[in-house]
Chains A and B, each alone.
Chain A
């Protein structure tokens, strides 16, 4: 089936969605997706970030579709013509969806563990406005404890339902879900149960925002101070293929490997994720590759780096215990050794 997206033609299998076709083309035309997750059946269609304009329905029925379509759930037809970034209607719609998503989202990126690898940050960077028009009070939720491994910040949630699908499809017996309706709907467990399933940690990886984060990594470091390494171990429960987020010699966090659309390649078990924080447990394959524009890329090793002047003690980024405190802990006084002029 031939489909044209922003003027670029591609041949795809029947049953492919517009979003998948756009991902095959790659580049600017790929619509952003906050709720769609190719590994989760039934996900998508909810966030409305990926709206596209179908300017020609198909070869058989060339009428344009009157509404903007959610590209993640709309299948391609032969001869379909789609406008993604090239349509002002689409960019306008994406802008407004971004505004809607940010409306009740607490702008607490400076203290959010997801910052730096957050899909909503990327979305608002690409499609957001600088100013807010929302002057009302944001809706908030009471904190809820989901057990020792997963930290829930309901205020940050954008209700993409990915974690619900993950629990539904990966674990036996889902104990959490969406409770309530409308903007007061929340991710919650039924009567404060802890989520303790062996694969529940994958909820953290699929969460596009900082609503579900790793409790064992909480406030340890910013994502961009970590150096990610691809590693594996022999695990009898999962594939054991992970990314280790290192600070010096310490493994601060273990996640599954993610591709360029921030989707995990293979799901991992909780044992790999939470219980093996020793370098000896892992076979480290090498540094992880980055996207060109990732915030993590600010620390990369391949590009020729301009010497950065860090006005602090030497070797602070090597990960010595006493230095780390200076980066992430505010109550430790920072020695100010800026050259006095």
Chain B
């Protein structure tokens, strides 16, 4: 049984309401924090080694220390709850079942940053969560945790929830800020970074829901204590949203450093594969990270155990590794078609590209069209190299990381499952059926691709 930091109280009945949450030790961190020096809180978060849980894994304390306090402009904290990565649903779970934890984290973090106006930007599809949060904020205002002169300390904080229009790109921090300002959600060109010029040109910090929700525990138990959990530079606990062909999909909180094998096969977590079909691939961090083929899931390329940490999942770079990303853990068994899956992801990125810079706008659409052709038996053998070429031209040449996120899954699929693409192209009649690998897994027909001599 691993230690739980975020989800320890989630099963208490009525934890959604203020009374129950408060009775179970809620808002204690605010009481403690308001007596502390704001910079000391930042220091605590720095020592804790907490890394951003939204995908990039940038140290939270470091991000906070970049905020421009000298200019004297009002500062803002924005919570990024625009969780739209396919395969990731941890933030929704957290906000839906224990909304006060996020609000508590927002108050403590805002105090540390000296922000008097903070926002939670939630995606448009989470309307019911939006209402849950609104209700929780109202309760917090009523109890005096928000508003003017909080608990007589002289610190003011206003917290608003803003509901987005449902665009993936608004999860990119500068696009989120644009959207929050009421403009079209196009990512800004950096520099200037939000820490200097963010919301309304004021210094702004944008953090993921899970990062902010981890702060109360750090304040209560010290960053030192937090850094003891986990392994190496991957400290603390992390939520994983498990989906795909496993017995028990859902949201799990684990201490970092557990082996992938244990996480997937122990009954406490995923509970093993859904049936006796073998494992084919794993996406450990949401749709934008590279897929891992079967032989690289439990062991890294040099034979070490693959662990659930930022470092171990990324071991081997993109050639043989992947990335922890946002923790969207998607498991595939051999009924899954990698080509179809890649097409599906490409379709998503095509639909969600903001259309601002040309490589991403045109390239994502092109990749989707080519993949759709291959999946439907109209591919040509040179299309595989073409796809490789397109993705390499998108990657790194765009304003925001969406271009990279669109390119990586395609690159990894071709890198590890090239023969499956070839199979689709060379045997179009065999993949006509929508679920072509269900009855005839790829392993059984792989021999067809080998050169035959008569």
- What 0/1 readout, one digit per residue, does chain B (136-173) give for beta carbons within 8 Å of chain A? 00000000000000000000000000000001010000
Q: Note all chain B residues with C-beta closer than 8 A to A66.
A: 396
Cβ A103 vs Cβ B366 within 8 A: yes
Q: Which of A132-166 contact B (CB under 8 A)?
A: 133-134, 136-137, 139, 158-159, 161
Cβ A97 vs Cβ B356 within 8 A: no
Look across to chain B and name the residue whose beta carbon is closest to the beta carbon of A44.
B189
Q: Note all chain A residues with C-beta closer than 8 A to B359.
A: 48, 96-97, 100
Binding site for B on A (CB under 8 A): 44-49, 51, 66-68, 70, 73, 93, 96-97, 99-101, 103-104, 133-134, 136-137, 139, 158-159, 161, 177-178, 180-185
Q: Chain A nearest CB: distance from B454 CB in Å?
A: 33
Instruction: With A46-B356, A70-B189, A178-B184 given, name 4 new contacts (CB 8 A).
Output: A93-B393, A100-B393, A161-B356, A182-B352
CA distance A245 to B392 in the complex (A): 44
Q: Which 8 residue pairs are nearest across A and B when measured between Cβ atoms?
A: A185-B355, A96-B393, A100-B362, A182-B353, A136-B369, A45-B189, A183-B365, A182-B355
B123 on the interface (CB 8 Å rule)?
no
Out of A97, A177, A185, which one reaches B397, CB within 8 Å? Answer: A97
Count: A-B pairs, CB below 8 Å: 93
Between A and B, 18 residue pairs with Cβ closer than 8 Å are A45-B399, A51-B397, A67-B397, A70-B399, A93-B393, A96-B397, A100-B361, A104-B365, A134-B366, A136-B366, A159-B355, A178-B355, A180-B355, A182-B353, A182-B355, A183-B350, A183-B362, A185-B354
Q: Note all chain A residues with C-beta closer than 8 A to B364.
A: 182-183
B386 on the interface (CB 8 Å rule)?
yes
Given that A45-B189, A68-B397 are known contacts, is A181 also in contact with B354, CB under 8 Å in the complex?
Answer: yes
Q: Note all chain B residues with C-beta closer than 8 A to A48.
A: 357-359, 397-398
Look across to chain A and name the residue whose beta carbon is closest to the beta carbon of B380.
A135
B285 on the interface (CB 8 Å rule)?
no
Look across to chain A and name the residue whose beta carbon is closest to the beta carbon of B188.
A45
Q: Note all chain B residues with C-beta closer than 8 A to A96.
A: 359, 393, 397
CA distance A101 to B361 in the complex (A): 9
CA distance A177 to B386 in the complex (A): 34
Q: Chain A nearest CB: distance from B410 CB in Å?
A: 15
Binding site for A on B (CB under 8 A): 167, 169, 184, 189, 350-359, 361-366, 369-370, 373, 386, 393, 396-399
Look across to chain B and name the residue whose beta carbon is closest to the beta carbon of A177.
B184
Cβ B357 vs Cβ A45 within 8 A: yes
CA distance A136 to B386 in the complex (A): 13
Cβ A139 vs Cβ B393 within 8 A: no
Look across to chain A and name the residue whose beta carbon is closest to the beta carbon of B386.
A133
CA distance A274 to B32 in the complex (A): 70
CA distance A10 to B358 in the complex (A): 30
Look across to chain B and name the residue whose beta carbon is closest to the beta carbon of A182.
B353
Q: Chain B nearest CB: distance from A38 CB in Å?
A: 16
Q: Note all chain A residues with C-beta closer than 8 A to B353.
A: 181-183
Q: Chain B nearest CB: distance from A82 CB in Å?
A: 17
CA distance A161 to B361 in the complex (A): 14
Q: Note all chain A residues with C-beta closer than 8 A to B366.
A: 100, 103, 134, 136
Cβ A183 vs Cβ B361 within 8 A: yes
Look across to chain B and name the residue whose beta carbon is closest to the beta carbon of A158.
B358
Given that A46-B399, A67-B396, A68-B396 are known contacts, is A182 also in contact with B361, CB under 8 Å in the complex?
Answer: yes
Q: Note all chain B residues with C-beta closer than 8 A to A103.
A: 362, 366
CA distance A137 to B352 in the complex (A): 20
CA distance A101 to B365 in the complex (A): 12
Cβ B167 vs Cβ A181 within 8 A: yes
Given that A68-B396, A133-B386 are known contacts, is A104 also in contact with B362, CB under 8 Å in the complex?
Answer: yes
Cβ B354 vs Cβ A97 within 8 A: no
Q: Chain A nearest CB: distance from B428 CB in Å?
A: 16
Q: Note all chain B residues with C-beta closer than 8 A to A177.
A: 184
Cβ A182 vs Cβ B354 within 8 A: yes
Q: Chain A nearest CB: distance from B107 CB in Å?
A: 35
CA distance A151 to B418 in the complex (A): 47
CA distance A70 to B359 in the complex (A): 13
Look across to chain B and name the residue whose beta carbon is closest to the beta carbon of A186.
B355
Q: Chain B nearest CB: distance from A258 CB in Å?
A: 23
Q: Note all chain A residues with C-beta closer than 8 A to B358.
A: 46-49, 97, 100-101, 158-159
Q: Note all chain A residues with C-beta closer than 8 A to B363.
A: 100
Q: Chain A nearest CB: distance from B176 CB in Å?
A: 15
CA distance A183 to B360 in the complex (A): 9
Q: Note all chain A residues with C-beta closer than 8 A to B355.
A: 159, 178, 180-185
Look across to chain A and name the residue whose beta carbon is closest to the beta carbon of B364.
A182
Q: Note all chain B residues with C-beta closer than 8 A to A44.
A: 189
Interface centre among A47, A96, A159, A183, by most chain B C-beta atoms within 10 angstroms, is A183
Q: Note all chain B residues with C-beta closer than 8 A to A183.
A: 350, 353, 355, 361-362, 364-365
CA distance A196 to B279 in the complex (A): 62
Q: Chain B nearest CB: distance from A67 CB in Å?
A: 5
CA distance A199 to B214 in the complex (A): 53
CA distance A215 to B409 in the complex (A): 45
